[in-house]
Every structure is written in C-alpha cells, then in structure tokens.
C-alpha cells in the first residue's frame, strides 16, 4: 500500500450530513461532498492486511458472516484512490460491480463489517470510496456506453428491472445476446426506483444508468406485466431463455384487530406512491399518502422503517414513532458476535437522526408488540395499542416473545405503516411459468446455477433467495447471466 501506516495515523471520517432543517424541506441527498484530499487520506487507512476479508462475501454464510457479495477488489482500488489514479480505480471497480453508484449509496456495507482493521479499530470507509470512484468517473466522462462488438443471435427476456434484473441484463448484453427487460411499473428500476426514497437514491441517477444500458442495446418495456399484458406462452415462444428477477414483493402483514382501518398501509405502498408523485408532479397531483400534520406509527425496523420515518418527516408529520419487537442493539460488538460476523450493534441512521433533531429523541421503541389498532366512528385509524414483551425460551428451546403485564400503552396514530419485511415473490407469475418453489415460496433454483425445473427459465435475486440486499441482487444477476450464457452458447466467458 502507498501508506502502510495510514491506519495508525488517520482516524475514520465520513462526509458531513446537511443540516436536518435544510434537508427536511427537500428530497435531495442527505450527505455533502467530501474533499478529494480527505477521501485519499481515508483510503490510506486500508492496511494491506494480507487476507482481505472485505472482498470475500460467501452466499453459504450470509448474512451471518460479512464480506462483499460481488467480491469487489477493495484493497486495490483503495490504493489507487490514495495515489490519485481514479480512472484505474474505476476500471477495477467496474470489473466486479455493474452499479457502484447504487451500492455506494444504499448498501449497508458488509465489506466494512469484515474489514480487518475493524477487529480493534473503526473500519475503512469502503462504501464511500466506492461512491467517490463512480461519481468521479461520471464527472470526468469516463463512464460511457460500450455496446458489444457482435451479436450472438440469441434472445433473453428478463422479468423485473430491479438490481438483479438490470445486472443480469447488463452482463447478457455484454455477451452479445439481445436482451429485453420487462417491467410492470411505469418506470425502470424496480426497488431502486420506487422502493428507496429519493433522498437516499436520487432517481435521475437510476435513469442515468438505465439510459446507458439502453444505449448499449438493451430493450426496456414498461407497463408490461408478464402473464397479463404479455401471455407466458408468447414469452416462451419469442425468447431463447427467460430470467425471473421479480423480487420478493409480498409484504409481511400484521394480523391484529383493526388492520382493515383506513390509514393502515404497507410501507412500500407509502414509499412507492410518494416517489411516483414526486417524479410525476413534485407532489402537486396529491396522488400519495400524505403524512402532513399527522401522527405516524411505523411498525418494524430495518432500512424500510427508517425510510418511512425520513419520508414522514419530510411531509411535515406531527410526530413519528417506530415500534420494534427486537431488543435495542448494543453499542459495541458482544462476545457472541465476533469479527468477521456482521456487527449486530446500534445504528442511528439518517431517519432516526432527523427525528432526534425534530423531536429531541430517537423514534424507536424496542421490545414492543402491537395488540390492536383502534379506529374512530368513521373507520379511520385513531390509535395503536401496544404492550412490552420479553424474549424467553419455550419448551423446545426456541426464543418467543412473552407479554409483560402492566405495560400496555395507547399511542395516538393517524397513519400506521407496516415495515415488517417481505414473505417472498408473488405466486401468480410463477404458477403461470410452472416453476417450482421452495418451502419459503421462493423460486426453487440453486445458487450459482440459478436454473429452475423448466428448461431455459432461470431465477435470480430476491425472487430466488428471499428478501436481501441490493448488492446480493447484483451478485445473483451477474452469476445468473453467466449460467444463461452457458445454456445458450455451451460455455461462457462472463465473470
């Protein structure tokens, strides 16, 4: 490494967030740019560790053991950034990751969880370097369309335009196949477009990459639902292969009294309608669930819960509370959570920080379960009734939640958002394609093979593995493309 002792002399540092009062009145990115010299200084902390666990994510051990799922060549491009060789850093980054502008913004950075420096110090700011490299590439004009020199005469349909579908399409197009991506929504991007709010991933950045892919020869078809707008038999007859990348879009529901009341919504219904209205009319059409001046209760944690909190605050909600059934994470790794496992520690994300700035306290309430939802005489949500719980072992040794007597509470609520994760892909399309599913309702296809029981039909991303990370979706899309290429051509030169 250029600075072999950088990790000893330089402390971890990240870009500063814009002031909450400023960013809560717009939908722009939360963080401010960092000076190039500062980024290079941070890159010098990469410590030439010999065995870079950061780049060795393995599906077999995920998500317990951290590491980069796409096997980014992290130490090399950290060193190139430190030396100011940005174009070479970009070339190295693009060898393994089709969309670093997405992962550099929304990935939770499992690479940093397994950074060797993180054993006894703060890990290297890998995720931000990834972001800095790709944005430098776009600024300098180094990222350009690169269509394949020849075509194979083979055609592939990719169903779904989320990160798995886009990665799969990009790789298959590089191999020379004619790729058509079908999306049932009105815009390309799937989760990237309508699942992640604008302040976390600006939609012009998604469109920027889609435009590049289109210039490279990929055909995108929006407002087209396979099995409805385009019959499955016609799809099979038209294409030599099909890849299912529909995601795991069935949300986990809440089975309590009052679930049917007006004002109770799934998180994706809330986030998706907000982004669509923002893009269509800057919210002038009113075609979204507006939390202005309302008491909002978010049930569930994770990134989706945080995004609901941040969105409600930007609407100008009266209050926002987030209920989590799990215990509050610890501040430092526990003894039963050693490196290089993913660190199960407390994270105060942008949404919680904004709530603290506005409400003077973290919106999260831990070890809480929802007993029922109360409505008014008009069928509107009025309040959420909760009770504290504790986790205890049952006779089979399983940890189950037990209510704590005397801890019942009533929380005023005008909007209740369910952010409790996803169950799996929607069954309708899978039934029509006649593909088998596993015990968790995901498409039955082995990792690193991705072929289903139907010849020529493959599956990748959340539709195959269940709810996961954007970076795992990209990994699966890339690997599935290699298997499809081998199926069509007898072998593959794709990585």
Residues 132 and 175 in one domain: no
What pLDDT score does 66 carry? 81
Residue 110: phi, psi to the nearest 5? -60, -25
Number of C-beta neighbours around residue 491 at 10 A: 8
Residues 416 and 439 in one domain: no
What pLDDT score does 63 carry? 74
Task: Say whether pLDDT at 4 is over 90.
Answer: no
Residues 169 and 189: their CA atoms lie apart, in Å, by: 12
Task: Say whether pLDDT at 154 is over 90.
Answer: yes
Residue 146: inside a domain: no
Residues 62 and 107 in one domain: yes
Number of domains in the chain: 3
What pLDDT score does 57 carry? 82
Residues 291 and 289: their CA atoms lie apart, in Å, by: 7
Residues 160 and 307 in one domain: no
- 57-71, 391-405, 410-424, range with the lowest pLDDT: 57-71
Nearest one of 156, 153, 157, 154 to 227, comparing CA atoms: 157
Dump pLDDT digits (tens) for 332-386.
999 999 998 899 999 999 999 999 999 999 999 999 999 999 999 999 999 999 9
Residue 495: inside a domain: no
375, 399, 420 - which closes a domain:
420
Residue 357: inside a domain: yes
Tokens 């790789």 locate to 171
In this structure, what is the dihedral angle of CA atoms 64, 461, 93, 220, given to the nearest 10 degrees?
-160
- 159-163, 294-298, 384-388, 397-401, range with the lowest pLDDT: 397-401
Average pLDDT, stretch 478-493? 98
Q: How confident is the model at residue 61 (pLDDT cuts 50, 70, 90)?
A: confident
379, 400, 420 - which closes a domain:
420
Residue 484: inside a domain: yes
Residues 177 and 54 in one domain: no
| Cβ pair 129, 42 in contact under 8 A | yes
Task: Say whether pLDDT at 1 is over 80.
Answer: no
115, 140, 165 - which closes a domain:
140
Residues 293 and 369 in one domain: yes
| Cβ pair 245, 165 in contact under 8 A | yes
Q: Which domain holds residue 302?
A: 253-420
Give me 200's structure tokens: 């976390």
Residues 290 and 351 in one domain: yes
Report whether the peptide linkage leading into residue 63 is cis, meaning its omega lies within 30 degrees of zero: yes
Task: Say whether pLDDT at 210 is over 90.
Answer: yes
pTM exceeding 0.75: yes
Residues 358 and 210 in one domain: no
Residue 149: inside a domain: no
Residue 457: inside a domain: yes
**Terminal CA-CA length for the chain:** 26
Q: How confident is the model at residue 50 (pLDDT cuts 50, 70, 90)?
A: confident
For residue 111, give the CATH number of its domain.
Answer: 1.10.1060.10
Average pLDDT, the chain: 96
Residues 296 and 315 in one domain: yes
Q: How confident is the model at residue 60 (pLDDT cuts 50, 70, 90)?
A: confident
Residue 399: inside a domain: yes
Residues 232 and 275 in one domain: no
Residues 257 and 242 in one domain: no
Residues 312 and 214 in one domain: no
What pLDDT score does 35 carry? 97
For residue 303, give the CATH number of its domain.
Answer: 3.50.50.60
Could you give the percent of the chain with pLDDT greater than 70? Answer: 100
Residue 439: inside a domain: yes
Task: Say whether pLDDT at 64 is over 90.
Answer: no
Task: Say whether pLDDT at 56 is over 90.
Answer: no
């Amino acid at each position: 490494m250029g600075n072999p002792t950088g990790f000893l002399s330089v402390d971890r540092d990240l870009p500063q967030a814009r002031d909450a009062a400023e960013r809560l009145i717009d939908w722009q990115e939360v963080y401010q740019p960092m000076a190039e010299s500062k980024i290079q200084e941070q890159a010098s902390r990469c410590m030439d560790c010999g065995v870079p666990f950061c780049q060795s994510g393995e599906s077999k051990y995920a998500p317990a053991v951290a590491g980069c799922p796409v096997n980014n060549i992290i130490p090399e491009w950290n060193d190139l950034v430190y030396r100011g060789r940005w174009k070479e850093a970009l070339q190295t980054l693009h060898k393994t990751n089709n969309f670093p502008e997405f992962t550099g913004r929304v990935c939770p950075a499992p690479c940093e969880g397994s950074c060797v420096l993180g054993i006894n110090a703060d890990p290297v700011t890998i995720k931000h370097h990834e972001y800095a490299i790709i944005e430098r590439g776009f600024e300098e004009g180094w990222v350009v369309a690169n269509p394949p020199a020849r075509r194979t005469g083979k055609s592939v349909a990719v169903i779904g335009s989320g990160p798995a579908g886009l990665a799969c399409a990009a790789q298959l197009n590089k191999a020379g196949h004619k790729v058509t991506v079908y999306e049932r929504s009105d815009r390309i991007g799937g989760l990237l477009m309508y699942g992640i709010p604008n302040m976390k991933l600006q939609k012009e950045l998604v469109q920027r990459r889609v435009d590049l892919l289109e210039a490279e020869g990929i055909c995108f078809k929006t407002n087209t639902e396979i099995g409805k707008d385009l019959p499955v038999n016609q799809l099979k007859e038209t294409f030599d292969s099909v890849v299912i990348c529909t995601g795991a879009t069935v949300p986990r529901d809440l089975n309590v009294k009052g679930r049917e009341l007006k004002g109770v919504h799934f998180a994706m219904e809330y986030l998706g309608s907000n982004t669509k209205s923002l893009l269509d009319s800057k919210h002038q059409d009113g075609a979204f669930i507006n939390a202005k001046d309302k008491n909002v209760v978010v049930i569930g944690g994770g990134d989706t819960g945080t995004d609901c909190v941040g969105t409600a605050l930007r609407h100008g909600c009266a209050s926002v509370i987030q209920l989590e059934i799990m215990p509050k994470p610890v501040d430092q790794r526990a003894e039963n959570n050693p490196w290089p496992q993913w660190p199960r520690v407390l994270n105060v994300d942008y949404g919680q920080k904004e709530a603290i700035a506005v409400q003077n306290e973290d919106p999260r309430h831990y070890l809480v379960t929802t007993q029922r939802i109360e409505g008014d005489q008009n069928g509107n949500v009025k309040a959420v009734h909760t009770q504290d719980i504790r986790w205890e072992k049952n006779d089979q040794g399983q940890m189950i939640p037990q209510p704590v007597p005397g801890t019942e509470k009533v929380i005023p609520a005008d909007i209740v958002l369910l952010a409790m994760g996803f169950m799996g892909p929607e069954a309708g399309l899978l039934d029509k394609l006649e593909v088998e599913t596993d015990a968790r309702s995901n498409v039955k296809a082995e990792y690193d093979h991705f072929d289903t029981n139907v010849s020529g039909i493959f599956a990748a991303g959340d539709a195959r593995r269940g709810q996961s990370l954007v970076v795992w979706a990209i990994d699966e899309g890339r690997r599935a493309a290699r298997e499809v290429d081998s199926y069509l051509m007898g072998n593959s030169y794709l990585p």
